Structure 1
Amino acid sequence: MANPARTISLQALMDDLQTGCERSFSEARSMPPGVYTSAEFLAMEERNIFAHEWLCVGRASALSEPGDYLTARIATQPIVVLRDEQRQLKAMSNVCLHRMSVLLEGRGNVRRIVCPYHAWNYSLDGALKGAPLMDRQADFCKESYRLPAVRCEEWQGWIYVTLDDSAPPVHAQLAELNELIGAYGMSGYIETFYEEHVWDTNWKILAENFMESYHLPMLHRATVGPHSRLEEMECPPGLPAFNYHWITKEASLPIGNAHPDNTRLTGHWRKTTALLAIYPTHLVTLTPGYFWYLVLQPEGVGRVHIRFGGGLAPEFIADPQAQAHMDTLKKLLDDVNAEDRRGVEAVFRGVHAPLAKPGHLSHLERPNYDFARYLAAKLRTH
């Protein structure tokens, strides 16, 4: 619950955010506390950002067979993404056309989409195929019912969806990112684990935590902190659809560097990790040997649903020690996530404090500055 002392009008909050974003990076500060605590601000994000942007919902390889599906939500719209009988990816409204029940939950495989309420059922292309006893209604025409389609595209092995028919294609928006990371061959990386979690923090606090490595030596002092040299990190200016930073080093895990059989990467790229924040909610750590990711979905101001997954580059998948490498990585990531959760939940408690105010950003928090400017621009646009 927001502290009454922090109450501020939405317009005043937007003005504060905009004023901060007009500062040069050398004068940049963190975002005003209200952007994390205001329910009105979140509602505006749902309307102006989530209802219009391309949103990642997971890896295409998770839907390998006809009937494989996953469910997600775009703002208040439940959706289902599935592999149809022609092995094409399709996204549709996940709401029955009868009495508007949500149809499918979680992930799985189906031959038909069956409503759990009255058993209306749909083919994998969304056409209504069965509606018990509705033949007794003279005006009912089964052929007139089809689940509304949702735009769905694949980029680098990721599935993206949007409700905005006018949004430029994903590959166009991420063309510059494709150039930056193309040599990694991310589309060929194999997902080996997937989980879902809910943390008690604002989605932007978690996103910002991923975007900067300034916190690694302290927050992660029991895990990756001792291997994190801040002087080795590069934080270039971001682009309109994403920000990124690089760490070039000898990895603490063997799979952090390129496998000897990897011929895609040369020179320093064989030891370079890319940390990618694809707006608004897709966060990827991409190394020459493995990747892991978070996909965020706000559940109110103070809770965030997290899709958490990762896996190996193809050379490590083929390696006899692949399982051992993956077990070691998963243990490390679980420990790192536990540290991050403590950190971002502490920040969420802190932003409610009457005496809290934004502080100056470090040079390693350039991605956070770019993220704030992205938010301000998108919230002004729609």
Structure 2
Amino acid sequence: MADAARTTAVEALVNDLQTGCERPFSDARSMPPGVYTSPEFLALEESTIFQREWQCVGRASALAAPGDYLTAQIAGQPVVVLLDETNTIRAMSNVCLHRMSVLLEGRGNVRRIVCPYHAWNYNLDGGLRGAPMMDRQSGFCKESYALPKVRCEVWQGWIYVTLDTNAPPVATQLAELDMLIRDYGMADYIETFYEEHVWDTNWKILAENFMESYHLPMLHRATVGPHSRLDEMECPPGLAAFNYHWITKEASLPIGNAHPDNQRLQGHWRKTTALLAIYPTHLVTLTPGYFWYLVLQPQGTGRVHIRFGGGLAPEFIADPKANDYMATLKALLDEVNAEDKRGVQAVYRGVQAPLAKPGHLSHLERPNYDFARYLAQKVSRP
């Protein structure tokens, strides 16, 4: 009886979300509170989105030498992505084939993958290399063991993985985005810092916060807010796999505009920032001189794990003041992140309130409307 009630409740929530998304943008509202607070809705997201979509796990440049690896969890599946001896980036299950311990944690470098539980160990291609004392078991055949492969692709310098063997290639899904940002040369931007955080909010609240710049003058009034003119922002309709908006302005930092040596960008593009939301969880601010990003992973309805990184365009890396630019960028982004954390955690407290209800969206929140329609479409499919 309880399971039936939960099923009915999540179906009603999906219907409410769909109904809201059927409104024209001129009458669009924010998503229903339950979309953020319902464990059953999160379970639906896991099965219809996280088990099927391509998800970013970081920059390819983080895997610079054979044996370099990073780890992630995709819809409950631990994954390791590494550079093998042939300098090929590959992804595999990060679970031992013996007693199913997780193998590797975080990031690092290994010559082989060794299970911390019983020391079964694997080559960088996933094949079982050694299993202590298993030679006494006549039914054991080392050659029959290999870590299951996970689909892995690199796009614009980013590593993406998916559990769906039938998902169209990343480059196909993001072909329109390739055209929009081609002249930035994002693949060549150099990551100069990387961190991981956990915030007390729903993953979609943080994603939506990134997607709109309507909040900049108020929430970021002590940092980037005074330099943010809402009338300079353009929010075109999004596409199936992403949404985006533009800000064209004279940057408050030299690295916000194109370096004098940058010959890729011309005219107004030399001072235009692109804010990219690649569904479901990859968020990138791409300026002519620097980039920063968030990659999100829900940990229940009220916690989100964040991969946070950023760096500079190659011209600024080659500049004699590169170290100063790196330090300035990191200091600014730390302050901005602290402001965003306060904001999105306050929203999560608010959506749990009995009297909370969706309000109308601003014209600057077009990306949020498109994101809601993406979610509605995904959670509705069988």
Both proteins in one fold, TM over 0.5:
yes
Q: Which secondary structure does the structure 1 equivalent of 2:161 belong to?
A: strand
1:335 aligns with 2:354: no
Amino acid at match of 1:138: S
Any idea what the Cα deviations from partners look like across 1:73-115, whole Å, max 9, x if unmatched?
A: 1010000000000000000000000000000000000000000
1:107 counterpart residue number:
107
**Displacement, 1:380?**
1.2
The separation in 1 between residues aligned to 2:326 and 2:225, in whole angstroms, is: 20
**Displacement, 1:308?**
0.2
Any idea what the Cα deviations from partners look like across 1:301-336, whole Å, max 9, x if unmatched?
A: 000000000000000000000110110110000000
2:300 counterpart residue number:
300
The separation in 1 between residues aligned to 2:76 and 2:283, in whole angstroms, is: 22
The separation in 2 between residues aligned to 1:48 and 1:287, in whole angstroms, is: 33
Q: CA RMSD in A?
A: 0.8
1:278 counterpart residue number:
278
2:55 counterpart residue number:
55
Alignment of 1:209-358 (within 5 A): 209-358=209-358
1:9 counterpart residue number:
9
The separation in 2 between residues aligned to 1:355 and 1:270, in whole angstroms, is: 46
Amino acid at match of 2:197: H
Amino acid at match of 2:13: L
Q: Which secondary structure does the structure 2 equivalent of 1:236 belong to?
A: coil
The separation in 2 between residues aligned to 1:326 and 1:248, in whole angstroms, is: 22
Amino acid at match of 1:83: L
Amino acid at match of 2:72: A
1:74 aligns with 2:69: no
Q: Which secondary structure does the structure 2 equivalent of 1:118 belong to?
A: coil
2:184 counterpart residue number:
184
The separation in 2 between residues aligned to 1:376 and 1:231, in whole angstroms, is: 30
The separation in 2 between residues aligned to 1:304 and 1:93, in whole angstroms, is: 22
Question: Is the 1:8–1:34 contact (alpha carbons within 8 Å) kept by the matching residues of 2?
Answer: no
Alignment of 1:132-151 (within 5 A): 132-151=132-151
The separation in 1 between residues aligned to 2:45 and 2:273, in whole angstroms, is: 30
Question: Is the 1:48–1:378 contact (alpha carbons within 8 Å) kept by the matching residues of 2?
Answer: yes
1:3 counterpart residue number:
none
1:173 counterpart residue number:
173
Question: Is the 1:101–1:115 contact (alpha carbons within 8 Å) kept by the matching residues of 2?
Answer: yes
**Displacement, 1:244?**
0.1
Amino acid at match of 1:84: D
Aligned length: 376
The separation in 1 between residues aligned to 2:121 and 2:196, in whole angstroms, is: 27
Question: Is the 1:30–1:359 contact (alpha carbons within 8 Å) kept by the matching residues of 2?
Answer: yes
1:377 aligns with 2:373: no
TM-score normalized with structure 1 length: 0.98
Q: Which secondary structure does the structure 2 equivalent of 1:9 belong to?
A: helix
The separation in 1 between residues aligned to 2:15 and 2:54, in whole angstroms, is: 26
The separation in 1 between residues aligned to 2:381 and 2:331, in whole angstroms, is: 42
Identity of aligned residues (%): 82
Amino acid at match of 2:40: E
The separation in 1 between residues aligned to 2:8 and 2:97, in whole angstroms, is: 41
1:205 counterpart residue number:
205
2:28 counterpart residue number:
28
Amino acid at match of 1:244: Y
**Displacement, 1:8?**
8.0
Gaps of at least 5 residues in structure 2 are 1-6
Amino acid at match of 1:108: G
Any idea what the Cα deviations from partners look like across 1:233-266, whole Å, max 9, x if unmatched?
A: 0000000000000000000110000000000000
The separation in 2 between residues aligned to 1:253 and 1:54, in whole angstroms, is: 34
The separation in 2 between residues aligned to 1:363 and 1:92, in whole angstroms, is: 43
Any idea what the Cα deviations from partners look like across 1:243-294, whole Å, max 9, x if unmatched?
A: 0000000001100000000000000000000000000000000000000000
Amino acid at match of 1:74: I
**Displacement, 1:381?**
1.7
2:4 counterpart residue number:
none
Amino acid at match of 1:51: Q
Question: Is the 1:197–1:306 contact (alpha carbons within 8 Å) kept by the matching residues of 2?
Answer: yes
The separation in 1 between residues aligned to 2:322 and 2:244, in whole angstroms, is: 28
Alignment of 1:41-52 (within 5 A): 41-52=41-52
The separation in 2 between residues aligned to 1:200 and 1:75, in whole angstroms, is: 19
Amino acid at match of 1:268: H
Any idea what the Cα deviations from partners look like across 1:181-207, whole Å, max 9, x if unmatched?
A: 000000000000000000000000000
Amino acid at match of 2:219: L
The separation in 1 between residues aligned to 2:19 and 2:60, in whole angstroms, is: 40
TM-score normalized with structure 2 length: 0.98
The separation in 1 between residues aligned to 2:181 and 2:147, in whole angstroms, is: 36
The separation in 1 between residues aligned to 2:305 and 2:243, in whole angstroms, is: 22
